[in-house]
């Protein structure tokens, strides 16, 4: 019984981190689908969300909601600047230079945050207290509910956006075929910019809601970003349910592995899963393989 309780507990916290990975995975997929770029700086958007919220809350003395909005807007501004200054000048770049430039940007963002706010771990208080709820012998924190709620909201909203608005449909058109999209009058450049805006907003939101559980610092972005990428790969780089499922599977496996095997190897478990999927099913868990055009 004790073991069963423990497992329930691990699954609950796994689902919560999994939801975060899913959000980050979606933010990866949005940029990838409109540009073909894997943004190695994606994790920094997540970090910026948490760090900026703490800054707005503690230094600017904003109320929580305003602080969150300010942080998401601030990160979006960084995403926008990043697209304009680093991605747009490299129009016909090779994948290699795009990898290098996004790595460079991620180091730069991390460095600037470290200089501005220091190296210390920072704490964001939970949104609605710390009184745990008991469910089937395991404890559920109010913050877990926030995470589940926000994640579901974001998934529904992005579904509505991508399938029922003109901009969303235009972005999907670009991901299918940029040239054709351009020919029917869609401004591909604007859609790329929009994808960076949405993606950085989404990433930072994930960073805000996870910060009360895990604390945050200038260097948390790398790991979170990589795991979000892992979720996106599991979902086959789509922006739909596959990525969400990928995130949740990853989060749960990682949490169970850390709890039952060894917490020191928690991150190694995630990367082993990433490698296995890349080796065995690089097209994602739920997709059929595609042939490459030369």
Interface with another protein by CB under 8 A: which range of 53-61, 152-160, 195-203, 259-267?
259-267
Q: How many CB atoms lie within 10 A of CB 267?
A: 14
Interface of this chain with another protein, residues 231 to 250, rule: CB under 8 A: 233
Exactly one of 11, 70, 108, 253 binds another protein (CB under 8 A); that residue is 108
**Which one of 100, 160, 241, 261 is in contact with another protein (CB under 8 A)?**
100
59 binds another protein (CB under 8 A): no
For position 136 contacting another protein by CB under 8 A, the verdict is no
Q: Shortest approach of another protein to residue 131 CB, angstroms?
A: 35
The only residue of 62, 86, 188, 256 in contact with another protein, by rule CB under 8 A: 86
Q: Shortest gap between Cβ of 168 and another protein (angstroms)? A: 24
Site for another protein, rule CB under 8 A: 37-38, 40, 86, 89-90, 93, 95-97, 99-101, 103-112, 114-115, 119, 222, 226, 229, 233, 262, 264-265, 267-268, 271-272, 274-275, 278-279, 282, 294
């Amino acid at each position: 019984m004790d073991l069963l309780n423990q497992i329930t507990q691990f699954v609950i916290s796994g689902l919560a981190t999994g939801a975060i990975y899913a959000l980050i995975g979606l933010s990866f997929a949005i940029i990838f689908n409109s540009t073909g770029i894997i943004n190695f700086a994606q994790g920094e958007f997540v970090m910026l969300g948490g760090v900026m919220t703490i800054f707005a809350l503690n230094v600017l003395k904003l109320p929580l909601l305003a602080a969150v909005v300010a942080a998401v807007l601030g990160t979006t501004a960084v995403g926008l600047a990043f697209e304009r200054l680093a991605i747009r000048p490299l129009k016909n770049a090779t994948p290699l230079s795009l990898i290098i430039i996004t790595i460079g940007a991620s180091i730069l963002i991390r460095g600037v945050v470290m200089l501005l706010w220091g190296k210390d771990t920072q704490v964001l208080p939970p949104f609605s207290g710390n009184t745990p709820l008991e469910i089937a012998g395991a404890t559920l924190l109010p913050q877990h509910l926030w995470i589940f709620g926000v994640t579901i909201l974001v998934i529904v909203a992005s579904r509505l956006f991508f399938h029922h608005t003109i901009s969303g449909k235009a972005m999907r058109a670009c991901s299918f075929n940029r040239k054709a999209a351009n020919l029917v009058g869609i401004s591909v450049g604007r859609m790329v910019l929009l994808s960076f805006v949405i993606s950085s907003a989404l990433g930072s939101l994930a960073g805000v809601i996870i910060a009360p559980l895990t604390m945050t610092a200038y260097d948390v972005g790398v790991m979170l970003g990589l795991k979000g990428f892992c979720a996106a790969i599991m979902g086959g780089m789509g922006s739909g349910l596959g990525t969400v499922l990928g995130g949740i599977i990853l989060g749960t496996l990682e949490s169970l592995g850390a709890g039952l095997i060894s917490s020191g190897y928690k991150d190694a478990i995630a990367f082993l899963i990433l490698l296995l999927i890349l080796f065995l099913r690089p097209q994602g868990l739920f997709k059929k393989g595609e042939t490459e055009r030369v």
